[in-house]
Structure 1
Amino acid sequence: MPTTHHIAQFNVARMLAPLDTPTMIEFVAGLDPVNELADGAPGFVWRLTGEDEGVPSSTDIRPYDPESIVTMSVWETPELLWEFVYRSGHLEYLRRRQDWFHHLAEITQVVWWLPAGTIPTVAEGKKRLDHLREHGPTPYAFTFRNRFPAPTGEAEEQAAVA
């Protein structure tokens, strides 16, 4: 049975230093391998890439401030996204995040359901993250830990948008 919804994720991180400094050299060196890993992972649908054509990562997109970078991707299921994040070579970089990024007291990642075939915008990711920060997990914006099921009907989908 075809999936009617996919899961989107958006996160923000505040860098310890500019990307072109020694502090960030290992992070930058890992961008292409981790992105290639994502692109080939089971359940991968789409990821945000640079604003300039040919930029393979989203590090040039700074919707919050010059020190913050974002990632956004779409996956077939939350389980497949979880597998990529926590059970692939991505985990090595995730474990080292304190080497490259400030610890932020606020929530930095949000997930949400979207109709299959839909590509989210950075503005939507920001809106969902802001909603999660203000209201906690809801069907509109939630976390891995506090997931909601995919909408099953139009009424449920409309309620999730509110």
Structure 2
Amino acid sequence: MLHLALYTFGVLKSPLADPSPLTREFYDTGEAVYRRISQHPGYVARAEAAGGDKGMLFEADWGAWGEFAVPAWYGKGRTVETTALAATLSLWTDLSPAFDAIYTGLHREALNRRYDWFERTGHPSHACWWVSGGVIPTWQDGVSRLEHLHDRGSAPHAFTFHHPFAPDGSATRVR
């Protein structure tokens, strides 16, 4: 059985530790979105750090998901005070449930506000790829796929929901 791996990455306009109302709003929305997505049909798992403190991305223990990594184009801080990014790594049973979770409901509402919170970087914000059942992708896998997608476009190795590929490598559509 195959699973869809999904890596998302965005550069925030201000550090996670910023006490401003906009940063708090992003955090509160994110926590609600995570709760909702984890209950969505087709959701398998996501990378969660032991402890889960705000901004403790680089120092955290991510277990089987590996050491936290970011794309080469991320040029902001890496300390608790300066980290200005949001990243997720998750597993899904298929394209359609993942697409539905991302582009409907509470997450869709958050996507509509993304430019309030995130910088426009000119880089893709997500990458998908297929993994064998039981395989846990690492943060470095996600970064590698996102960078590949940016450099070479959508392909079976790394693709988007808008230009997806089936597990056999053929172009497909999200149903």
TM-score of the two chains, using structure 2 as the length reference: 0.77
Structure 1: gaps (5+ residues): 157-162
Aligned-partner SS, 1:143: coil
5+ residue gaps, structure 2, are: 59-68, 71-75, 77-82, 171-175
Hey, what does 1:38 align to over in structure 2? 37
* SS class of match (2:108): helix
Shift of residue 56, structure 1, vs aligned partner: 8.0
Instruction: Report the aligned-residue RMSD.
Output: 2.0
Identity of aligned residues (%): 29
The aligned runs of 1:2-81 (5 Å cut-off) are 4-19=1-16, 20-22=18-20, 23-50=22-49, 53-55=50-52, 60-62=56-58, 63-64=69-70, 65=76, 66-81=83-98
Q: Retained in 2: the 8 A contact 1:113–1:151?
A: no
1:99 to 116, 129, 132: 116
Give the distance between the partners of 1:76 and 1:139, measured in 2 at CA: 17
Whole-angstrom distance in 1 between the partners of 2:27 and 2:38: 17
The answer as to whether partners of 1:49 and 1:56 remain within 8 angstroms in 2 is no
SS in 1 for 2:134: coil
Q: Deviations over 1:34-67 (max 9, x none)?
A: 11111111000011112xx23288x532533432
How far apart are residue 32 of structure 1 and its match? 2.0
**What's the offset of the Cα at 1:151?**
3.1
- Whether the 8 Å contact between 2:10 and 2:87 is mirrored in structure 1 is yes
